[in-house]
Amino acid sequence: MKSSVAVLPPFLVLDQLLQGWLLEDIGRGDRTTQSLLSENPTDKEAKWIGKAPGIIAGLPVAARVFQLLNHQVNFVNITAEGAKCEPGQVIAEIDGPLDALLMGERVALNLTMRLSGIASLTNVYVEKIADLPAQLVDTRKTTPGLRILEKYATALGGAINHRMGLDDAVMIKDNHIVASGGIGKAITRVRSHIPYPLTIEVETETLEQVQEALEYKADIIMLDNMPLKIMSQAVSLIRQEDSRVKVEASGNVTLETIRAVAETGVDYISTSAPITQSRWLDLSMRMV
């Protein structure tokens, strides 16, 4: 697998999200747990068990969920973050106040199952092109409120993060081109407004658009929904005219097509599939 770095943001960033999701679930109080345990507070142990094969993602987030409810909860990874698991495998062991374990269970499991499903499918895509130079890249097609974690999961699965938001980099898409009156005009105007470090990427659909993007010195050229033959020609054109320009392929990328796309010589292949088409990895919590 090509190298990829998955970095969680600090909890200063995540805690507000986690607290909001806990409040959504707990509301004005866990009627069941608080009624049963009000007269008999106790500590308990639990295990997380894998119920399907895949890659585990989100354990540090799950641990934080429980600790926000009670700092005495101890969450120990038995399966490492980013490692593969099999059905029946123990993923984590947890001990602490029982009410915190029960109130945090659903939010913690939901997040881990969602992120693990993304990491697992991402890794399947990555393995399809593991012996080729092209690298898999995610997109901004993410669940509102979960982007920062879903992109963490794709990186854990072996992909590279594309821009996190509209402020990370410039991407001039088809509607921008139409609104501006052409690629050249769009690049010229954007370049006069953006801060120095930002890169400019342009979405192209034809060889003529590729040529115009090259003429106006785009940093990255996206080949969007191009037939493989035209894509190969576009890559050759870009390599001949400006070797510094990075080439990205996008549009209708599937497990069946990704290898052929990589073989055209592009640097990056972007797809939303690992996020939009992944299934949750089934996990369960069992009291000891």
Which residues form the catalytic set? 106, 141, 173, 203, 224
Report CA-CA distances (Å) from 113 to 160, 179, 243: 21, 41, 42
Closest CA to 75 of 39, 109, 50, 34: 109
141 contacts 276 by C-beta, under 8 angstroms? yes
Kindly list the strands in the beta sheet with 200-204, ordered across the sheet, starting from the edge strand earlier in the chain. Answer: 135-137, 268-270, 246-250, 220-224, 200-204, 170-172
Torsion of CA 109, 21, 287, 80, to 10 degrees: 40
To the nearest 10 degrees (0 to 180), the angle between helices 147-156 and 11-26 is 120
Q: Say whether 104 sits in a helix, a strand or coil.
A: helix
What angle (nearest 5°) sits at the alpha carbon of residue 10, between those of residues 116 and 53? 10
